[in-house]
Structure 1
Amino acid sequence: MTETPNPHIINADTLTGEMRPIRRVVLALGSNLGERMSMLQGAVNAIADTPDVWVTGVSPVYETEPVDAPEGSRNYLNAVVLADTTLAANRLMDRALAIEDAFERERSEVLNAPRTLDVDLIVVGDRRSNEPHLRLPHPRAAERPFVLKPWFDLEPDASLPERGPIADLLAETGLDGITLREDLTLAVE
């Protein structure tokens, strides 16, 4: 898919003359193994340390019951990070996977297995992708209150492409199983 830069919002590389669009990115974070809060804070720091990524917002932290997870799975801590980037969506996905690996994420054949860290790309501008390794917008985001509620806290007027306003999606999903953790705060360090 060819992406055309917006001529009014660009990042011009003065050495090469290359112009890359700046896109709004929504990343969802989750952890239910180990020191969950440390994992989330580490992910926020790693995202903020990524070249060509500028964190613009970090949501409150929510504790959520695991969804369709193996019996005995611990509750998750979840948050959303908003950022602007000039990185291509594939490179951003590579970075998300590298961050997960840095926090010892173990991949499993078990659906929704517990994990030290999950970094999901929800939206990368208006980019659409149905490639097996990159699905944008995230195909299950509209059904996940642990994504929608923290995102709504940061951008109440946001819309999930092809699905509609997140406020409407959140009203459909409800808030069962999700609790605001006012005692926990993430920050860009």
Structure 2
Amino acid sequence: MPPASVRAYVGLGANLGDGAATLRQTLAELRDTDGILAVAASPFYRSAPVEATGPDFVNAVAAVDTRLSPLALLDALQALENRHGRLRPYKNAPRTLDLDLLLYGDIQMDHERLSLPHPRMHLRAFVLLPLRDLAPDLTLQGRRIDDWIGEIHGQDIHPSGV
């Protein structure tokens, strides 16, 4: 009997090249990934970089139903980043594609390669707004997403319209 699927949430972002086209292509590639059963995406947002410089990002969040383990899903995400030319010349450098595993079911883990839930997701409007679009009743650390959003100030974000 195949293992049950788990709902995971993945943050997507790009601020080099045609970010919207990159995210659309990445969502299609996620749907074609072995072990991923379904993918639903939030609307796209445009946001200024946080703790970095460079062009604005196009951001979204995807709900992914998967049979992959958390680390296998991370490997698949990093392979997609590499296929899209992701380079890491320095911390928070502009990027062709950034994929962050935000949540994996109710699992909490602190591994050298992966921390779940993502340790800074509740501080980032570019994660919380699209996540709320997909899962408005989701709670993070026992609090509603809207409560976290209400505490974020100074992060420029708006629907991208693409």
* 2:75 partner letter: D
- 1:99 equivalenced with 2:63 (yes/no): no
TM-score by length of 1: 0.81
Deviation at 1:56, TM superposition (A): 4.2
Matches within 5 A, 1:36-75: 36-70=19-53, 73-75=54-56
Q: Percent identity?
A: 36
Contact 1:157 1:167 (8 Å CA) reproduced? no
- 1:83 equivalenced with 2:64 (yes/no): yes
Select 1:177's aligned residue among 135, 156, 159.
156
**1:172 aligned counterpart, secondary structure:** coil
What corresponds to 1:150 in structure 2? 130
Deviation at 1:143, TM superposition (A): 0.2
Distance 1:33 1:85 in 2: 28
**2:50 aligned counterpart, secondary structure:** coil
Contact 2:30 2:39 (8 Å CA) reproduced? no
Distance 1:35 1:60 in 2: 16
CA RMSD of aligned residues (A): 1.4
The count of corresponding residues between Structure 1 and Structure 2 is: 162
**1:21 aligned counterpart, secondary structure:** coil
Structure 2 unmatched ranges of 5 or more: none
Deviation at 1:100, TM superposition (A): 0.2
Runs in 1 of length 4+ with deviation above 3 angstroms? none
Structure 1 unmatched ranges of 5 or more: 1-11, 14-19, 185-189
* 1:91 partner letter: A
Q: Which has the larger radius of gyration?
A: 1
